[in-house]
Amino acid sequence: MAKIICVLYDDPVDGYPKTYARDGLPKIDHYPGGQTFPSPKAIDFQPGTLLGSVSGELGLRKYVESLGHTFVVTADKDGPDSVFEKELHDAEIVISQPFWPAYLTAERITKASRLKLALTAGIGSDHVDLQAAINRGITVAEVTYCNSISVSEHVVMMILGLVRNYIPSYQWVVKGGWNIADCVARSYDVEGMHVGTVAAGRIGLAVLRRLKPFDMYLHYHDRHRLPDTVEKELNVTWHDTVEDMVKVCDVVTINCPLHPETENLFNEKMLSKMKRGAYLVNTARGKICDRDAVARALESGQLAGYAGDVWFPQPAPKDHPWRTMPHHGMTPHISGTSLSAQARYAAGTREILECWFEGRPIREEYLIVDGGKLAGAGAHSYSTGNATAGSEEAERFKNDLR
């Protein structure tokens, strides 16, 4: 029988919810483009409830225990004394989420001598040292598409929030003020601006589609070009390099995975090529941007605003400069874990586990690493190598709280 460790974020500070703001979720039956929703044989949860936190258990306990497996659920993931590290040595499966990543570094993979499957309940498996997983023959899978639309909505919200100066204006209201001039001295319309996405995959393309009705000029850079019909429909301009694209954009949104090719892509040099006063929105991964270079660009005015929900490491230490830099609109890593998204990734996680335990193949589009090489979605979108280095710093958040 297998041992499964499932690392999830903590419950709300006021306790696991007893009621919800809404009574259910809208009915949607497939993703744009036709990919079908997760299709497990059954689910043991109510869609629209909190599944991604420790008490939600992704709705998996009943199923996993009915097969006789051991199911350990914890939020305690960082440092040698953590539950995760203590339980890892004999685990066959690790389930983790990018929002609260259980970093599976090469050292941890070495300790986890029985580990066979690293399953991401979400999208983005950069918290796993993919090179180490390749070397050890560990399968890495994620629930491709489960929250891509959720993130694209967040990106649009953040672009509008930054450009229109929403957060500072909201804060004037809360402070009891009516300071119109203070609010609008940094407020613009997006209409007529040029917006570019780094990567036009599921999220990037959805962002472009959502911004088109705002009468913005659309741009993208990707390793593979969109079909001609899509380029024409959106009237979107492809750029051969990121540098070429950022030069002409007022707003840039990053939507590629983190892998060795994209790590630190937005460094001092790339930021200096952007238009003065551009806005940068990164909901992809924190490590794609140079932490200190972003803070400096905001201070100097090279960037007019930065927003996103991804940091490195996660959780971010209390003294992380992105918490306090000027003109930012950061949130914790939440864009892909709305209650709507949770229902899809919990079902997708169940589907992958059912395949694993029944010896059926996992959907090709869910695979990142399999059989000692990048596979499925991973072979298309990632490059080999490791992007988890430095994640031990996440332990500092724990220490901050002591």
Active centre residues (catalytic): 147, 285, 314, 333
DSSP annotation string for 165-201 = THHHHHHHHHTT---HHHHHTT----TT-EEEEE--S
Distance CA 325, CA 340 (A): 31
Sheet holding 194-198, edge to edge: 236-238, 217-221, 194-198, 251-254, 278-282, 303-308
The one-character DSSP state at 260 is: T
Residue selected from 57, 85, 222, 263 as contacting ligand NDP according to rule CB under 6 A: 222
**CB-wise, 123 or 211, nearer to ligand NDP?**
123
Shortest Å, Cβ 22 to ligand NDP: 21
Residue selected from 64, 73, 138, 203 as contacting ligand NDP according to rule CB under 6 A: 203
Shortest Å, Cβ 74 to ligand NDP: 21
Taking CB under 6 A as the rule, does residue 336 contact ligand NDP?
A: yes
> How many CA atoms lie less than 13 Å away from 375 in the CB half-sphere?
19
Residue selected from 262, 302, 338, 388 as contacting ligand NDP according to rule CB under 6 A: 262
Taking CB under 6 A as the rule, does residue 338 contact ligand NDP?
A: no
Taking CB under 6 A as the rule, does residue 124 contact ligand NDP?
A: yes
Shortest Å, Cβ 263 to ligand NDP: 10
The one-character DSSP state at 57 is: G
**CB-wise, 163 or 245, nearer to ligand NDP?**
245
> Does residue 375 contact residue 367 with C-beta atoms inside 8 Å?
yes
Taking CB under 6 A as the rule, does residue 263 contact ligand NDP?
A: no
Shortest Å, Cβ 367 to ligand NDP: 12
Residue nearest to ligand NDP (CB): 201
Taking CB under 6 A as the rule, does residue 257 contact ligand NDP?
A: yes
Shortest Å, Cβ 24 to ligand NDP: 23
Taking CB under 6 A as the rule, does residue 64 contact ligand NDP?
A: no
Strands (E), 2-112: 3-7, 70-74, 93-96
Query: Cα 165 to chain center, whole Å?
Result: 24
Q: Please name the residues in contact with 174: beta carbons below 8 A apart, sequence gap of 6 or more.
A: none
Q: Which stretch binds ligand NDP (CB under 6 A): 20-28, 50-58, 77-85, 374-382?
A: 374-382
Residue in the block written with tokens 């932490």: 291
Distance CA 13, CA 297 (A): 35
Cis peptide preceding 257, ω within 30 of 0: no
Query: Which of the residues 138 through 197 are near ligand NDP (CB under 6 A)?
Result: 147-148, 151
**CB-wise, 91 or 313, nearer to ligand NDP?**
313
Taking CB under 6 A as the rule, does residue 40 contact ligand NDP?
A: no
> Does residue 154 contact residue 164 with C-beta atoms inside 8 Å?
no
Taking CB under 6 A as the rule, does residue 283 contact ligand NDP?
A: yes
Distance CA 287, CA 269 (A): 15
Torsion (CA) 359, 360, 366, 367 in degrees, nearest 10: 60
Q: Total binding residues for ligand NDP by CB under 6 A?
A: 34
Residue selected from 139, 335, 342, 391 as contacting ligand NDP according to rule CB under 6 A: 335
Taking CB under 6 A as the rule, does residue 368 contact ligand NDP?
A: no
Binding residues vs ligand NDP (CB under 6 A): 122-124, 147-148, 151, 198-204, 221-224, 255-258, 261-262, 283-285, 309-310, 333, 335-336, 377, 380-381
